[in-house]
Amino acid sequence: MASAVERRAGAGPRASLWRRSRRLATQALLGVVLVATIGCDRVTKRFAVETLAGTADRSFLADTVRVAYAENAGGFLSLGADLPEANRTAIFVVATGGILAAVALVAVRSRWDHWSSLGVTLFLAGGASNWIDRVLHGRVVDFLNLGIGPLRTGVFNVADVAIMIGLGVLLVRQTWAESR
């Protein structure tokens, strides 16, 4: 039985059960975010393959948003797309898979705050979905492009958005933690 001091400090059996329940609920919610992000990316890529491949680019909002089918055998901004297939496989399948597995292992073993956990989950979901494409097809389907006039992004997909939002959340969280 917990002493009066332990109960006042929140160290009793109820507090422990509450912490475990809350951690489990957080992990379940992060699991939903992971699966939903991967699912959304897979569905939008499938839609791009079925409706955009072989068609003309489409432009929306005064050419701020362009939708166009593209296959990317390389990494960010198609870096490495011209490498021999064995090198691309080594980098974009084997090495990336290892890095994603390592990050997932660290994430599972760590007790990060909710925001950091969300950032890592989004990063992993986007990375895993693009990795699945590379394993299955040797390339990633991209279809979105944003910009104003000549200032434009590269072509990207929902997984890329998840990766960038995840990194953004981690950056903001780290900056905020350091300023305290």
Which residues participate in catalysis according to the annotation?
Answer: 142, 160
Burial class of 180 by CB neighbour count within 10 A (0 to 12, 13 to 18, 19+): exposed
Quickly list H helices, 53-157: 85-88, 96-109, 114-137
3-state helix, strand, coil in the chain (%, to 5): 65, 15, 20
Closest CA to 142 of 80, 64, 76: 76
Paired strand residues for 67: 58, 144
